[in-house]
Structure 1
Amino acid sequence: MSVDLFFPENRSRAQRLTELVDDITAMQRELKNDSDNLDAKDENMRPLLNKIMENNGFTTFDELVEKSLEVLTADEAQDLRDMLEEMKQTNTQLEQTFGVFALLTLGATSAAATAKAVQLLKSGALVTASRLVIRGIARAISGSANALEEAAELFKASRRVSSILLRNFETSTKVGRVTKFVKTAGTVMSVVGFFADAIVVVLAAVEGARQKEELQRAIKENFTKRIEVALINVLGTAAASFNGNLESILILENQIVENPALESVLRPSIDVLTVSVADSMDERFDAISYESAAETFTQLDIPRNSFTSDDPSVAEAIKKLDAEESIKFD
């Protein structure tokens, strides 16, 4: 890239923009891997869930969910019904993943595990909603025909689903706060886009003042996008961890189906795992924030001596994301 003598820092700006673009691109690849692994786990769990449902007298997925919703208030239960209807429209089968959370509330026998029922259902709804965003990113970078259009529909669906959940999930709670992040992500990805803005090559022949202006704009935009994608990346990692634990519980439940004599031996272990999953979700949600997502890269920028003079503050970036969350598009 040519550098105007009056704007020697444009080369550093170009390098900073390249760093931000590379960071975002790397996270997108991680999210695609997370999405692929989550889908593979779903495929493993689906026959286990179907077998356990049949053993418990449920002929349809909807019957299982309806039974589990009895632990919620009428408004909360209706929200989850509405959420699942939205999920069904996406043809992702993610509503069936939510069925595993529903099953956990029915299988609990200890007081501690039973007490986690409401928490599990709400947390499960949030994890399922976040997977729409994760699936959308994976779809967008797949390179297949109509990938971007299909991704946009998933992003919009994630916004609709999280908006439904926020009707009764207070944003002051951990689940409500992270649900708002998912809603913001769905909006930002749909309206603003998530692809990194790499303009360095395009600006190579542009005079210095214009270079500076455009590089500064792109740095600010990509700095903000990096925070958003980093937060989604954390959600992807969390969802992958939860899925692994859920599969372990289903395997134990399936062993009881195949050999009822194991009930007294395995049920206490299932209860312990159920409580552990609920507590793990709670801890992870508590740690999720824009600030913590940004801090991860602050620790990366320092040792690589990144040119950060044109970076917006984290507070400015968060304010921009919060403003975009209110955009109306559907």
Structure 2
Amino acid sequence: MVDTSSTYYGCADGGLAKGCKQFYPSFSTSIASTASFDSTIMVFFPDNVSRRDRALQLQDDIVSLQKSAIKLKDAMDKQDDRMVPYINEYLEKNGMASFSELQDKLAAALTPEQQKQYQDLVDNSAKAEKDNKIAIIAITTIALSSGIIAGSIKTAILLRAASLMEVLRAYARAFVTLVTEGVEAGLRAFNLAAIAARWVEGQHVLTHHEINLTASWDTESVAEATEQVAGYAANASRYLGFLSIVGILSDGFILVYTYFSEKEQKEELQKAIKELYVSRIVAKVFAQMCDAINTESGLMLSYMILVGDSTKTTSEDQQAADKIADGWVQHVKDAWSEITTTSSLDLLILLDKQRGSWLNDDPSYQDAIAAADDKIKADPPQSGAAVAKINTAKAVKAAAHSVAAAHDEFWPQSMHHLSAAVLHVEDLRKEKLKADLKSVIKPTIGNL
């Protein structure tokens, strides 16, 4: 929360957005204290204080989501790096000297259609992730080890899941790029992610009958919505002229207090709340994507620990790895179908209810979703550690086994379903309270 009793300048979070002051050079000094306005100008619009606080709360939520996305992306990168030595050890254990040999071995076992699907996956990943091959190498390892050799999972389904994961990774990275590097870099990243998303839509038609996917894998509409989200994040502007998803200018709301009449304060703050409310939904979508890919990277790391240790991979190791691969596919599928504007708004509404937020000027549920959907129109690296022999400590390998063993606990009901359930229960309680009140009031009135 911004301290409105003192002069405040700059962007939220100390400069996530670049060049904020340039829009207001005439206001760079001597902004008067707003303390007196709370007791004078607010006389005829007493809710303006609550409106200001709500706008700032929404702004703070967006900044928090930005920070969480950055942290999750960094955690994913660290997990990718930790996979490198296990990947190299897996190659050596299986008589392969390079990633190319691993690819050749996999390609020899794929159908021509699957070979094209895999090559497209590799090409799109290289564009969206700036030649970061770690995830693709891990996916190739899983496809060969669990899909071809062990035969525990259909290769076509695994490749499909990998395609979806790469799109999620591309969009999540693009969002972080937009936040940390600015609009131009963010736009380039989102354009690359959009290419990957369109490719997945086309691929869906190609592989649908072969894979015999369930309804939840019917992702054409989801792919379109995801690209729309990216478009909004790259192009949306809030009422003071700043990109809403990059960083919010905190003193913008103080300027509203200092230089506008009380009626204009109300109108401008209502605009801000509406814009920030929708922008927060979009930020939540990307934060959920970052959370999903971080989990998926962790699962791939657990898989590589089991098959990439320098000791012999036992049948128990392979079985645990196969179970993780199956869980990874399921997680990708769930993330792809459940990360939407609707699920994001449900989680945010639950947050607002839990903390008792002032909601009087928030848009309605349907209006918020409509606005969001309307505006919202992916050879192993070499290093000193990479070439070292890996003999995983028992505790580390045991931890990887525990991931596979704790399947039921590891895949709890989604947060979206939980939040929707809580909101539904709360609505039922309200309806019951209304009914109880009516039952009490009507007899009383009848006796008058």
Question: Could you say which residue in structure 2 is the equivalent of 1:107?
Answer: 145
Distance 1:46 1:8, change over 3 A: same
Offset of residue 159 of structure 1? 1.7
Q: Is 1:270 matched up with 2:321?
A: yes
Q: Is 1:320 matched up with 2:320?
A: no
Distance 1:314 1:83, change over 3 A: farther
CA contact (8 A) 1:130 1:182 kept: no
Which structure has the larger Rg over C-alpha atoms? 2
Q: Is 1:26 matched up with 2:61?
A: no
Q: Which amino acid aligns with 2:82?
A: N
Counterparts of 2:291 and 2:316 in 1: how far apart (Å)?
Answer: 32
Distance 1:209 1:285, change over 3 A: same
1:67 maps to which of 95, 99, 106? 106
Structure 1 length as normaliser, TM-score? 0.83
Offset of residue 35 of structure 1? 0.6
1:297 maps to which of 331, 345, 348? 348
CA contact (8 A) 1:291 1:314 kept: no
Q: Is 1:249 matched up with 2:303?
A: yes
2:261 maps to which of 180, 204, 207? 207
1:150 maps to which of 182, 185, 197? 185
Offset of residue 43 of structure 1? 1.1
Offset of residue 253 of structure 1? 1.3
- Secondary structure (helix, strand or coil) at the match of 1:250 reads helix
Structure 1 residues 227-236 or 58-67, which shifts more? Answer: 58-67
Distance 1:53 1:95, change over 3 A: same
Counterparts of 1:73 and 1:318 in 2: how far apart (Å)?
Answer: 42
Counterparts of 1:318 and 1:68 in 2: how far apart (Å)?
Answer: 44
Distance 1:203 1:245, change over 3 A: same
Structure 1 residues 31-40 or 173-182, which shifts more? Answer: 173-182
Post-superposition CA distance 1:269-321 (Å, at most 9, x none)? 22222222223333444443322211222122124332222212232222233
CA contact (8 A) 2:281 2:344 kept: yes
Counterparts of 1:91 and 1:289 in 2: how far apart (Å)?
Answer: 23
Question: Could you say which residue in structure 2 is the equivalent of 1:184?
Answer: 228
CA contact (8 A) 2:172 2:286 kept: yes
Post-superposition CA distance 1:122-150 (Å, at most 9, x none)? 222222222233223333444xxx54432
Distance 1:161 1:241, change over 3 A: same
Structure 2 length as normaliser, TM-score? 0.63
Post-superposition CA distance 1:95-139 (Å, at most 9, x none)? 43133223212111455x223x33332222222222233223333
1:134 maps to which of 168, 172, 190? 172
- Secondary structure (helix, strand or coil) at the match of 2:288 reads helix
Distance 1:65 1:43, change over 3 A: farther
Counterparts of 2:327 and 2:98 in 1: how far apart (Å)?
Answer: 29
Counterparts of 1:211 and 1:61 in 2: how far apart (Å)?
Answer: 63
Offset of residue 51 of structure 1? 4.0
Question: Could you say which residue in structure 1 is the equivalent of 2:123?
Answer: 85
Distance 1:163 1:150, change over 3 A: same
Give the unaligned 5+ runs of structure 1. none
Offset of residue 63 of structure 1? 6.2
Structure 1 residues 12-21 or 202-211, which shifts more? Answer: 202-211
Structure 1 residues 38-47 or 129-138, which shifts more? Answer: 129-138
2:276 maps to which of 206, 222, 226? 222
Offset of residue 44 of structure 1? 1.2
Offset of residue 69 of structure 1? 10
Distance 1:322 1:61, change over 3 A: farther
Give the unaligned 5+ runs of structure 2. 1-33, 209-214, 237-242, 378-448
- Secondary structure (helix, strand or coil) at the match of 1:23 reads helix
- Secondary structure (helix, strand or coil) at the match of 1:306 reads coil
Question: Could you say which residue in structure 1 is the equivalent of 2:201?
Answer: 166
Q: Which amino acid aligns with 1:186?
A: A
Post-superposition CA distance 1:9-66 (Å, at most 9, x none)? 2221111111100111101101100011111111111332244345354734596289
Q: Which amino acid aligns with 1:279?
A: Q
Trace 1:40-51 onto structure 2 (pairs within 5 A): 40-51=78-89
Structure 1 residues 43-52 or 82-91, which shifts more? Answer: 82-91
Question: Could you say which residue in structure 2 is the equivalent of 1:306?
Answer: 357
Identity of aligned pairs, percent?
Answer: 20
CA contact (8 A) 2:106 2:143 kept: no
Counterparts of 1:57 and 1:82 in 2: how far apart (Å)?
Answer: 23
- Secondary structure (helix, strand or coil) at the match of 2:203 reads coil
Counterparts of 2:136 and 2:218 in 1: how far apart (Å)?
Answer: 16
Distance 1:66 1:28, change over 3 A: farther
Comparing both structures, which one devotes a greater share of its residues to helix? 1
Counterparts of 2:96 and 2:193 in 1: how far apart (Å)?
Answer: 32
- Secondary structure (helix, strand or coil) at the match of 1:102 reads helix
Counterparts of 1:308 and 1:157 in 2: how far apart (Å)?
Answer: 37
